[in-house]
Amino acid sequence: MLLAHQMALESEWVQAEMVEASEFPELTSQFGVSGVPDTSINHGAARVVGAVPEEHLLAEIQRVVAS
Amino acid sequence: MAELLNSEIKEQVRQVFADLKEPVEVLFFGRAEDCLYCEDTQNLVREVTELSDKLSLRSYDLDEDAETAAAFHVDKAPTLVLAAKNGAEVQDYGIRYAGIPSGHEFSSLIHDLLRVSSRDSGLTQATRDFLSKLSKPVHLQVFVTPT
């Protein structure tokens, strides 16, 4: 989790929310979350499943921002 | 009321909190009804913030304090906002916890408090360079389950 929060701390454009899946089942099923951690970028524009290295999450964000 | 953190854990966290630098304010948003974990979350974060005088807690009700909730873009209960406190000013970085930070997420919470207190993301230069050029919003939601 830390990684997304670190990005929020670094940039005023980034907001990062940890969502405890079992407490918010509607949102969780809306995103079709099956494994955790599961990171959604811009409400599902990209998804990153699993705990990934910083470069990996960064690359996915770059892809979303560029599109 | 029973304490959620035992004295051993409190002592460990207190030691880690010796590294806190600048003040951090935690904003708790709860709801009186239909919120299974609001009370536990509020108690947990109260116990944590009581372990250092560099940490403070403000509690809000999502319905009664709707304006504040909207100002912080909070729409779930419970939600924690981890913000910097610079004098009287609260600086929101967009760091949120929706749901109780228990198990593995408890340790994330403690580390996040230290990070916000340091005002330094600790990210690599490549990531910082990219983020400094951002000009549109990026909204990350990380789904987790208690472990």
Q: Residue B101: which pLDDT band, with cuts at 50, 70 and 90?
A: very high
Query: Is there a domain that residue B1 lies in?
Result: no
> In this predicted model, what pLDDT tens digit does every residue of B6-43 receive, in sequence order?
999 999 999 999 999 999 999 999 999 999 999 999 99
> In this predicted model, what pLDDT tens digit does every residue of A45-60 receive, in sequence order?
999 999 899 999 999 9
As for the ipTM of the complex, it is 0.97
Which domain CATH number covers B41?
3.40.30.10
Query: If you measure CA to CA, which chain A residue comes closest to B76?
Result: A24
Tell me which of B143, B144, B145, B147 to substitute to probe the interface with A (most A C-beta atoms closer than 10 Å): B143
Q: What is the pTM of this model?
A: 0.95
- B50 is in which domain, residue-wise? 7-132
Q: Please report, rounded to a whole number, the percentage of residues in chain B having pLDDT higher than 70.
A: 99
Query: Is there a domain that residue B91 lies in?
Result: yes
B53, B36 in Cβ contact below 8 A? no
B25, B85 in Cβ contact below 8 A? yes
Q: Give chain B's domain count.
A: 1
B-chain CB neighbours of A33 within 8 Å are 143
- Read off the tokens for B97: 């916890």
User: How far, rounded to the nearest angstrom, does the alpha carbon of residue B29 sit from its chain's CA centroid?
Assistant: 11
Q: Residue B146: which pLDDT band, with cuts at 50, 70 and 90?
A: confident
The superfamily CATH assigns to domain A2-66 is Glutaredoxin (3.40.30.10)
Round to whole Å and give the CA distance between B53 and A41.
35
Query: Is there a domain that residue B122 lies in?
Result: yes
B98, A20 in Cβ contact below 8 A? yes
B72, B27 in Cβ contact below 8 A? yes
> How far is residue B24 from each of residues B19, B95, B125, measured CA to CA in Å?
13, 12, 25
Query: Is there a domain that residue B40 lies in?
Result: yes
B-chain CB neighbours of A20 within 8 Å are 37, 97-101, 105, 144-146
